[in-house]
Amino acid sequence: MAADGNSSQPGRAFDASEPVLNAIRPPAAARIWTVSAPVGNFVNRTELVAAVTALATTPRSRPPVLAIHGVPGSGKTSVLRRLADAVEEYFDHAIELDLEQIPGGAMADVLGSALSDLGVDLAAVPPDLRSRRSRFLAVTDRRRVLVLVDGATDAAQISQLTPNSSAAMVIAAGNIRLDDLALDGATVRRLGGLDAEHGLELMSTILGADRLAGQNDAVDRLVTLCSGSPLGLKIAARQLQLEPELSVEHLVADLESRVHDAEPTPARAGIRHSLTAIFDSFEDVMRKDVAMTYRALGTVPADRWPKETITALLAETTVDVGAALSELVRLDLLQLTDGGYRMLSLVRSHAERAGWSTDTGLRDAGRARMIRSWRSLAVAADHAVQRDRFRVTPTDLEAGSPAFADAQDAMRWFETWHDALLEVIVGAAAQGLDTEAWQIFEACWPFHTSHNLYHEWIKAGTVAVESAERSADRRAEARMRCYRARAWMEQGDLGQAEADIQAATELSNIVDDRALRASVLDFEGQLRARYGDAASALAAFDESLRLNEELGDRRGIALQSQFRGRCLNQLGRYDEALAALNRAEQLITGLGDHRAESRILHSKARVFRALRRSDDAVEALNDALRRVAPLGQTTLVVAPLELLRQLAQEAGDAVAETSYLTKLQSIFAATDDPRGTAVGQRLTELGHLGGT
């Protein structure tokens, strides 16, 4: 090899990229449809079906918006899914966003969820609202996308979630009036209750016409009593199923007396007041084990739960949990959801009122068992994603938890339950279970650092920091502050990150824990690097490395060596940088962390480039691609491909540059990434329009 590292036959290193490029599979342009199927016993709403069909089939110059508002219990979620089903043939993709399930309703996080559903890598999008909104407009440009928005609280939310395509559509629902949208051309409809005819139809669907024969007047009174609420009518029908000898007349008379005896309050006005009476009556006739489960679920954090946590909740009872849950699903009090069960908000408000009337000691003990079950699951998922990461949570907490098949399976669990985990963290802290609160937050690290939902991350981190402070656990507080600091850094709020890192440094100086001190120095180095101070960052990484070496922490040594190598490269100390990165590569190999391996090799390539050793740089980048291509996450290959493209351009190798550009173009095209525009322009310059 020549002194500058180039071989005697320029281009051979680029030729070696061909099999690597063939192994990279761009994401398939598959149909995206995250909308749940409509319920089977849906009735009426023909006017809305006609309206949405007309909007979908009428030529337009802007995306139509249908906004529906109605009181709780009027069936808005079911209507949304029914309308989506009615116009499915007119759209290629559909996403369903429940704003009540996105902690805090932060629009940046809402748009982040929408972009993730549409296949966009959030790591490539700045975290602020403006950037995510711009990316949403780009990715929906000219696409036939249907956006369902549930739980809207103001018109501005709908405007932010409206695609940039006349072929798209938004159907939104909320408990409050959305008339402001009409000023911008939206179609606004109020969702009232079912009328007597359709109320009877729904009851007949559940009970059969024979059971209701000759009782039409009583059914009319029932429909009026609950303001035509589909949920209220379903619950009443289920009670009649439980009591075969009970007539509709007697049920209605009982409900009317309950409503008359209990005066409405601001919290139980109107339809909610009537539905409370229906729920009260229904609870009276449930099986004892079913009623116990129902009340218990009203006292615990979140409104969605894996079965394991419900089993823990009822562990000190004689309840057959599986049978009780199946009955609650049959009675429309629970819904099956991914990996567990969900309780609708109106049902939950009643279950909560019923549950909090139970014995305080039993209630709190059950809540504690459930929270600890959540913790065990989260810790097990965390360890499945990355086993050898430094933690302050005891490693034995995952014992007895269901095993996850692999890291991908564990990450899917976090993706399913992350919003519920935030509520569990908040609920744990509120009950005084401070240790459990911060331990759950620590376990969520792999999700937070890969999904960029910063509002949720910071909110959970703030609760965790406060919990660690109350528990007087300095190690935990230092760790939680570092974790929260990373979120501040990702958002670009370096001042907040600085405050957390300073506090963590002071705490780690008090605690005699070299592993903790090494970790805090790692975060401090990351912060200094964000400030652009490579020398200060290097000093922090040097000290962290020294401590990791004393501890014999192979992974810690590898990572700190990597960070040192990057700083040394920035400082122009190339030989030292290569030595540090070679050490990092040697140590990380065998730990099964192919992402870290790829990042280290990418860093080596940057040093080789600075040394004008282009063939060595290409070889390192090809190796980096080999490590991550099998993972199937094309976002991990973009940075190495872009550096390869630059090296090919610098070498004047148009054929090699075209091959790299073509692969990048195929990746960006799959998610309408705006970076594809520059790639296409460069291909045109090379005389290979479209990569041909």
**416-433 confidence digits (pLDDT tens):** 999 999 999 999 999 999
What's the rounded Cα separation, in Å, for the pair 243 and 286?
Answer: 10
The rounded distance, in Å, linking the Cα atoms of 439 and 397 is 10
Please check whether residue 531 lies inside any domain of the structure.
no
Mean pLDDT of 253-280: 64
Handedness of CA 15, 17, 20, 24 (dihedral sign): negative
Q: Indicate the residue among 144, 171, 190 that finishes a domain.
A: 190
What's the domain range around 233? 196-285
Indicate which CATH number applies to the domain containing 326: 1.10.10
Domain stops at, among 285, 300, 320: 285
* CA angle in degrees (0–180, nearest 5) for 420-423-426: 155
Q: How many CB atoms lie within 10 A of CB 353?
A: 16
Same domain for 394 and 500, yes or no, is yes
**Greatest mean pLDDT range, 186-190, 237-241, 300-304, 333-337:** 300-304
More confident residue, 227 or 546: 546
Please indicate, yes or no, if residue 559 is contained in any of the structural domains: no
Chain segment 272-302, per-residue pLDDT in tens: 566 777 778 888 888 899 999 999 999 999 9
* The one-letter amino acid at 449: T
Q: What percentage of the chain exceeds 90 in pLDDT?
A: 48
Paired residues of 69 in beta bridges: 174, 190
- Span of 22-26, 200-204, 542-546, 642-646 with lowest mean pLDDT: 22-26
pLDDT tens string 334-387 = 988 888 999 887 788 888 888 877 778 888 999 999 999 999 999 999 999 888
Q: Per-residue pLDDT tens for 530-553?
A: 999 999 999 999 999 999 999 999
Q: What does the pLDDT read at residue 11?
A: 57
- Say whether both 374 and 407 belong to one domain: yes
Examine the fold and report which residue of 358, 382, 402 is the final residue of a domain before the chain moves on: 358
Residue 123 and residue 266 share a domain: no
**The predicted structure's pLDDT at residue 6:** 46
Question: Residues 380, 501: one domain?
Answer: yes
Of 77-91, 272-286, 452-466, 599-613, the least confident: 272-286
* Same domain, residue pair 91 and 103: yes
Phi, psi of 71 (to 5 degrees): -75, 160
Q: State residue 479's pLDDT score.
A: 97
- Alpha-carbon span 436 to 82, nearest angstrom: 41
Tens digit of pLDDT for each residue in 297-324?
A: 999 999 999 999 999 999 999 999 999 9
Task: State the chain's mean pLDDT as an integer.
Answer: 87
Q: Given this model, what pLDDT does residue 631 score?
A: 76
Residue 234 lies in a domain: yes
In tens, the pLDDT along 467-492 reads 999 999 999 999 999 999 999 999 88
Please, which pLDDT band fits residue 186 given cuts at 50, 70 and 90? Answer: confident
> How many whole angstroms separate alpha carbon 380 and alpha carbon 443?
8
Q: Is residue 259 part of a domain?
A: yes
* Residue 172 shares a structural domain with residue 277: no
Residue 667: pLDDT over 60: yes
CA distance 676 to 686: 15
Total tally of structural domains belonging to the chain: 4
| pLDDT value at 70 more than 80 | no
Rounded to an integer, the average pLDDT of 231-260 is 84
Q: Are residues 342 and 316 in the same domain?
A: yes
| Confidence grade of residue 200 (pLDDT, cut at 50, 70, 90) | confident
Tokens 């040697």 found at: 586
Q: Domain check: are 330 and 208 in the same one?
A: no
Residue holding tokens 């016993």? Answer: 41
Start-to-end C-alpha separation, the chain: 33
Exposure of 641 in the CB half-sphere (CA atoms within 13 A): 26
Q: What are phi and psi of 121, to 5 degrees?
A: -80, 110
Cut 0.95: pTM above it: no
* Whether 421 and 299 share a structural domain: no
- Within a domain: 428: yes
Residues 251 and 345 in one domain: no
470-496 burial by CB neighbour count: b if 16+ within 10 A, else e? ebebbbbbbbbbbbbbbbbbbbeebeb
Q: Is residue 88 part of a domain?
A: yes
Q: Are residues 151 and 206 in the same domain?
A: no
Give 263: exposed, middle or buried? Use CB within 10 Å, 0-12, 13-18, 19+.
exposed
Question: How would DSSP label each residue in 176-200?
Answer: S--GGGGGGT-EEEE-----HHHHH
> Cα separation of 639 and 675, whole Å?
12
**Beta carbons of 564 and 535 less than 8 angstroms apart:** no
Residue 692 has a pLDDT of 44
Q: Among 11-20, 296-305, 500-509, whose mean pLDDT is lowest?
A: 11-20
DSSP letter, residue 434: H
Residue 187 has pLDDT above 80, yes or no: yes
Give a yes or no: residue 525 inside a domain. no
Check whether residue 451 and residue 385 sit in a common domain: yes
* CATH code of residue 147: 3.40.50.300
Give ∠ CA 326-332-336 in degrees, rounded to 5.
55
CATH number of the domain where residue 445 is located:
1.25.40
